[in-house]
Amino acid sequence: MSLDQRFADAMGQLLGPDFPSDIALAVSGGGDSMAMLTLAHNWTRAWGVRLWVVTIDHGLRPESAEEATLVAEEVRALGHPHATLRWHWDGAGNKMDAARRARLDLIDRWRGGIRHVLMAHTQDDVAETFLMRLERGSGVDGLAGMAPRRRVRAMGDPLPATDIAGDRPGGARSEWFEVLRPCLDMTRTELRHYLTVLKGRWVEDPSNEDSAYGRVRMRRLLALLQDEGIGAATLAATAERLREDRFVLAIRAEQIWRDSGAAAHGILMLDPDWHGPVEATTQRRLLNAALRYVSGADYGPRAEALEALRQRMTGGGGGTLHGCELQFLRGRWTIFREYAAVAGLTGVVGDTALWDGRWRISAPDFKGLTVRALGEDGWAQAGDKPEDAPPFRAALSLPSIWDGDRLVACDALGIGPGGTAALAGQGNETVRFSRFLLSH
């Protein structure tokens, strides 16, 4: 079967039978993504879908701007709109991890009303990631294969026009978009052969030969393992089976949550004895998801720190981890945003950005006022609290609206008109966390 047919089949499984009117594709200029550009071009023309192409210029190499220009030329020759988005690294943290996070953030802030973004991850990427995580001693979650589709929550404000070189999709941005990976069963060799036959152009990133990067070392190791019968196809198949196993484990954790948990005001609560009959691995899974949900983080804490918190909790103690706090309050285990993590975080009512990456603030009568965490001064100003108000310690980090030093709104404490702060997303919070458990 040809690559075009395999690509069409994959897109049908991911999106069919009702395809969107517009779809985006991230193209770096490397062989994999340039091959996918041709595949996506052929598919969108056949199905009447408009293709928008975006390139992130990470600015980490002198050649990156020229490579983005090459992509733009190829895209426009095919008749599609193209945009280049420039990233400026601040030098903090792991460079490659920061670049990956920035890529999703910039695409999200560029995409307008588009809800689906194609990325050219291959079978080789799955195998290399498997080996990298095996080296770190990862369990099922880490070793599980990439999902063909992944939902990503919208975070920052839309990019200003001055930050976009090229075209931008129209439409109102939704609170989420999906990353689609239709090439997971294709190898890097297949894609580059396809592009070579078509006399297509691509660029080689010199960092792909730099053994300072873990992925490069794993790529070389994979070539050696291939000779022993443990190639990319074998590792990718193992990763896919582990992804299926992970979902079964997630169902178990979600069942425990349904039986023992509740959520309100972005705070998660568990019955006092929820962990008694539950195996340690499921306890860790539920706690890990809870910390990610409450903090809004893409990844959970390190395994050692998570296990230490689990042991403290099962022994009757609490603690802080991952920008969250876990305490036994009012007869329930309560997981909430750590006040220190948001104490200095402010926003402005009317800004489209999410406060703390989770809360959408909407209050026309208070436009231009300050959004910040409630804090002890806000708690003191609130006076009498509703019966269902969160406990003092958990309430400190909740979003509130201020006119100077005067508290004017905090939904959870019954201050103001109500309905001023809503968690990004739809539906009942307890149900929403159930879905989060099953999808992360």
Phi (first) and psi of residue 323, to 5 degrees = 75, 15
- Inside any domain, residue 348: yes
pTM of the model: 0.84
Same domain for 201 and 264, yes or no, is no
β-pairing, 176-180 vs 116-118, is parallel
Cross-strand pairs, 400: 372
Same domain for 27 and 156, yes or no, is yes
Quick: pLDDT tens for 8-66.
Answer: 999 999 998 889 999 999 999 999 999 999 999 999 999 999 999 999 998 777 788 88
- Number of domains making up the chain: 3
Same domain for 183 and 277, yes or no, is no
The domain that contains 313 carries what CATH number? 1.20.59
For 304-333, the DSSP string reads HHHHHHHHHHHTT--EEETTEEEEEETTEE
Q: For 33-42, 107-116, 148-157, 431-440, which range has the lowest pLDDT when averaged over its residues?
A: 148-157
Q: Is the pLDDT of residue 195 over 90?
A: yes
Quick: pLDDT tens for 220-277.
Answer: 999 899 888 999 999 999 999 999 999 999 999 999 999 999 999 999 999 999 999 8
Same domain for 334 and 361, yes or no, is no
Residue 182: closest CA among 44, 21, 29: 44
Res. 93 pLDDT band, cuts 50 70 90: low
The domain that contains 68 carries what CATH number? 3.40.50.620
Same domain for 187 and 202, yes or no, is yes
By residue range, what is the domain housing residue 331? 248-338+428-439
Quick: pLDDT tens for 337-393.
Answer: 999 999 999 999 988 778 998 999 999 999 999 999 999 999 999 989 999 999 999
- Inside any domain, residue 307: yes
Question: Would you state the pLDDT for residue 99?
Answer: 79
State mean pLDDT over 394-406: 97
State mean pLDDT over 123-152: 90
Greatest CA separation for the chain: 74
Same domain for 179 and 91, yes or no, is yes
Same domain for 14 and 130, yes or no, is yes
Same domain for 419 and 315, yes or no, is no
> Is the bond leading into 417 cis (omega within 30 degrees of zero)?
no
- Inside any domain, residue 179: yes
Res. 7 pLDDT band, cuts 50 70 90: very high
Same domain for 67 and 26, yes or no, is yes
Res. 155 pLDDT band, cuts 50 70 90: confident
Same domain for 177 and 128, yes or no, is yes
Helical packing angle, 214-227 and 232-260, nearest 10°: 120
Same domain for 372 and 361, yes or no, is yes
